[in-house]
Chains A and B, each alone.
Chain A
Amino acid sequence: MRRRFGPPARTRAAEAVVTILIVASGWAAILVLAAIATFLFASGMRAMSEVGLWTMLSGDSWFPTSQNASFGFVPSIAGSAWVTLVALIVCVPMGIGAAVYISEFAGPRMNEIAKAVIEFMAAIPSVVLGLIGLALLVPWIKATFGLDTGLTALAAGLMVGVMCLPTIVSMSEDAMHAVPSELRQGSLALGNTRWQTVYKVVIPAAASGIFAAVMLGLGRAVGETMVVLMLAGNAGIVPDTPFVSARTLPGTIANELGEVVRGGLHYSALFVMGLVLFVITFAVNLAADFVLERQRRRWRR
């Protein structure tokens, strides 16, 4: 009789089953992502064939419920663009500045406290930020700029900017942390001050990681729903300044999906909007990941 080494057959069988489960789970992410794309596309099919994708993307009026319904995305796209622009103006300089300070200037104790506080901020649910915005930011904007309403792209953008801050700070901090300290020491030994070391050595070395942080912040800003839904005002016009009420892609979906006839043209158009949002964030994330991978390869040893 041939004697086999190793565990008995039953253990082997059990292990094979578990291994298959583990491998299958590993593929779950691809499956979910593909399912999201498929379902958005399938549900948006009706609007894309009856109205036309280009007509929707370039149409500048959104009257989904009127007699002659029109499904133009331009008001929402323009609103999203204003909100995102304001948000980036707020969070990119401040976020990178804070990250540089925390990573390069602050002592270890300060570093720990700042990180903990920023982690706490990342955990605040966006609906709570919307509430704070309604209570403080909206009346302040109304009074300061003498507007009819404080529910503007500006208000939403400022709050979304605050929301993206933790993402940008912690990711750029990570990027600078990954720069080998030999580079810093070399620069300091040559007589550079700390600030000179930061902008001549650390920032160039961490540039792609910082860029990726900005891209991910951008992705969050475009996709943020609750803050924008509560603060932007959801008006129907194409906004040409941030000082007017505007609708955004996520805000429009969240505002209207509850009221539409399931399977109707309006319902389908909202899914096309979701698909547009999905494609935008997908592209942004892909770009971020590509750059991040390059950075990783650069400092891998």
Chain B
Amino acid sequence: MSATSRIRRARAVEYVARVVLGSCAAAAVGVAVFFLGYIVYRGASAISWEFLTEAPRMFMTRGGIFPVIVGTFYLTAGTALLVLPVGIMAGIYLSEFAPRTVLTRVVRLSIANMAGVPSIVYGLFGVALFVLASGWGRSILAGAATLACLTLPVIITSTEEALRQVPRDLRQASLALGATRLRTIARVVLPAAAPGIVTGSILGLSRAAGETAPILFTAVAFYAPIASSPFSETMALPYHLYVMATQATKPAPHVVWGTALVLVAGVSVINGVAATWRSVQRRRIRW
């Protein structure tokens, strides 16, 4: 084969590869955009002030989903209360304290593995430990505790990542001024890493807000009043959506898609704001 024909062939292959790979990327992006568009298209007509602020009426076919939104808010807030202290401290441990030993490697391995445990397995675990063994019953507390276990690895990894991006010089400067190790962490490292930690936590919690399988048997009921204590059952957006989508007697479809839109929009708006805030903060702080 002559040199020119080899070059010609390489150019042709290059072109084909570009097109094939480009269409893979376009398809992946296209699917996401299509899903978003479809949810908005089906759900937008349901969204009204009434839908967001009133309780359901007439077997869920009329009225709104206010108690459902509040239920998801309670569950997520409970999850945050339980997981953030432990998760952030664990992140601090891994970034600032952990020695380079086999044991630390085991801790990291456990975190990676926790992230891969299926959500339904967390559900089983929640039933066995929080609902039954702890005697909390089906409750916001049991559901939030289950979701906290599920979210823990996400919070730990994002906190550690954020802490690691703080330059070593800042720590050494603080230590050189006579601050103790903990004071250095509290006054220098944590404030510098705060945008990353906050954003990572929000991303993790918004994932928890959309989870169905872990709360299926630990927290939710299809119909429950707005919870009065952490020990009461609650309604939640993902579960509400699941029941309405699969039950035999379908409620009005616009209610189903409206709920889906509220869930997706809520999660993505919060994510988007968090991610934007982080990138703004990153630009503001320069080392």
A21 at the B interface (CB under 8 A): yes
Residue of B nearest to A130 (CB): B245
Partner-binding segment picked from B49-57, B73-81, B124-132, B227-235: B124-132
Which residue from chain A places its CB closest to the CB of B213 in the assembled complex? A225
Size class of the contact patch on chain A:
35 or more
Question: Which residue, B35, B42, B121, B153, has most C-beta atoms of chain A within 10 A?
Answer: B121
- CA–CA, A154 and B129, complex, Å: 35
Contacts of A129 in B (CB 8 A): 35
Partner of A193, one of B14, B25, B111: B14
Q: What's the minimum C-beta distance from A149 to chain B, rounded to whole angstroms?
A: 14
Question: Whole-angstrom distance from the CB of A188 to the nearest CB of chain B?
Answer: 12
* Interface of B, helix, strand, loop or mixed by DSSP: helix
> For window 110-141 of chain A, which residues contact chain B by CB distance below 8 Å?
113-114, 116-121, 123-132, 134-136
Within 8 A of B (CB), among A177-212: 193-196, 198
Q: Which candidate, B63-71, B164-172, B203-211, is the interface stretch facing chain A?
A: B203-211
Residue among A18, A131, A281, A289 with max Cβ neighbours from chain B (10 Å): A131
Query: In the complex the two chains form, what is the Cα distance from A102 to B23 in whole Å?
Result: 11
Number of B residues with CB within 8 Å of any CB on chain A = 90
Contact with B along A247-278 (1 / 0, CB 8 A): 00010011001100010000000110010011
Distance between Cα atoms of A262 and B137 in the complex (Å): 12
Q: Is B25 in contact with A98, judged by CB distance below 8 angstroms?
A: yes
Q: B153, A285: Cβ atoms under 8 Å?
A: no
Contact A29 B156 (CB under 8 A): yes
Q: Is A35 an interface residue (CB 8 A)?
A: yes
Q: Given contacts A43-B128, A195-B17, A195-B18, is CB(A132)–CB(B90) below 8 Å? A: no
> Assuming A127-B210, A127-B239, what are 9 further A-B pairs, CB within 8 angstroms?
A7-B180, A95-B24, A101-B18, A131-B245, A131-B256, A196-B10, A219-B116, A226-B213, A258-B217
How long is the Cα–Cα vector from A6 to B181 in the complex, in angstroms?
A: 12
Asked if A120 contacts B271 (CB within 8 A), the reply is yes
